[in-house]
Amino acid sequence: MCRSGAVDLICVDSVSALTPRAEIEGEIGMQQMGLQARLMSQALRKMSGNASKAGCTLIFLNQIRYKIGVYYGNPEVTSGGIALKFFASVRLEIRSTGKIKSVKGDEDVGVRVRVRVQKSKVSRPYKQAEFEIIFGEGVSQLGCILDCAEMMDVVVKKGSWYSYGDHRLGQGRDKALQYLRDNPHLQEEIEKLVRSTMTDGTVNMGTPQSKNIPHPLQDENAYEDI
């Protein structure tokens, strides 16, 4: 499939679920040492070169396991051996940090996750970001906009209240997000301010809605962790 050039993206979900033939044909309980690690090592030696030539991106999802008898250090390990760690251009560690409740608080509508770059051949590693994943929707773009706007002082939070210029968005994050959903023109304006700040560190202060917004610091380091 990689060599054909017919696809641009292949996603394997998950590495832990890949089962070697010997394990399928063997009996339950038989010791099969290192079969999955050897399978991944052989497959990646072939696939990495073919995918690079064909311009195909490979995404492998994995799961965390725990090493037995580890008293010092991190006992967590990922399935499939170390070949995948070596061949990967980017490795992301994704962990849930909490659940997102509905406005009424009677059901879970999403999760908040923290993503840490464990390895990167294309940029600086060990950076991290937090964002929301809404069930049935995916990554919450509106939530990311509000987080960045608060970080840059485009949106100001005093206590539990969010405000944007002369606009009071609401008390609490959920109500502020709902206010922006109900006012898409305001959402679009805040997004433009955030994007302009992230790209060149300047905010257009000419619009009436943004005239009372404090200007972010003109220091590129202020946006380094965004």
| Together in a domain, 83 and 94 | no
Task: Specify the higher pLDDT residue, 128 or 174.
Answer: 128
pLDDT at 96: 95
Per-residue pLDDT band for 116 (boundaries 50, 70, 90) equals very high
* Final residue belonging to a domain, choices 88, 108, 130: 88
Could you tell me the pLDDT band of residue 212, with boundaries at 50, 70 and 90? very low
Mean predicted confidence (pLDDT) in 37-59: 92
Answer with the residue of higher pLDDT: 208 or 7.
7
In the chain, the number of structural domains is 3
Q: How much is the pLDDT for 216?
A: 38
Same domain, 210 and 133: no
If we measure between CA atoms, which residue out of 191, 144, 143 comes closest to residue 164?
191
How does pLDDT run across 80-107, given as a tens digit for each residue?
Answer: 999 999 999 999 999 999 998 887 778 9
Domain shared by 215 and 165, yes or no: yes
Q: Does residue 152 sit in the same domain as residue 119?
A: no
* pLDDT beyond 60 at 221: no
Same domain for 105 and 70:
no
Q: What is the pLDDT of residue 144?
A: 93
Note the pLDDT of residue 28.
82
CATH of the domain at 173: 3.30.250.10
Give the pLDDT of residue 210. 40
Examine the pLDDT at 213 and tell me if it is beyond 50. Answer: no
Task: Please say if the pLDDT value at position 157 is more than 90.
Answer: yes
Residues 66, 24 within the same domain: yes
- Say whether both 33 and 80 belong to one domain: yes
CA 159 to CA 173: how far, in whole Å? 11
Q: What is the mean pLDDT of the chain?
A: 85
**CA nearest to 10, candidates 51, 47, 59:** 59
pLDDT tier at 223 (50, 70, 90 boundaries)? very low
Do 187 and 117 lie in a common domain?
no
Q: Are 122 and 167 contained in the same domain?
A: no
Of 139, 158, 174, the residue at which a domain comes to its end is 139
For residue 24, give its domain range. Answer: 1-88
Least confident of 30-44, 154-168, 174-188: 30-44
Please state the rounded mean pLDDT for residues 156-181.
91
| Same domain for 95 and 68 | no
Q: Is the pLDDT of residue 120 over 90?
A: yes
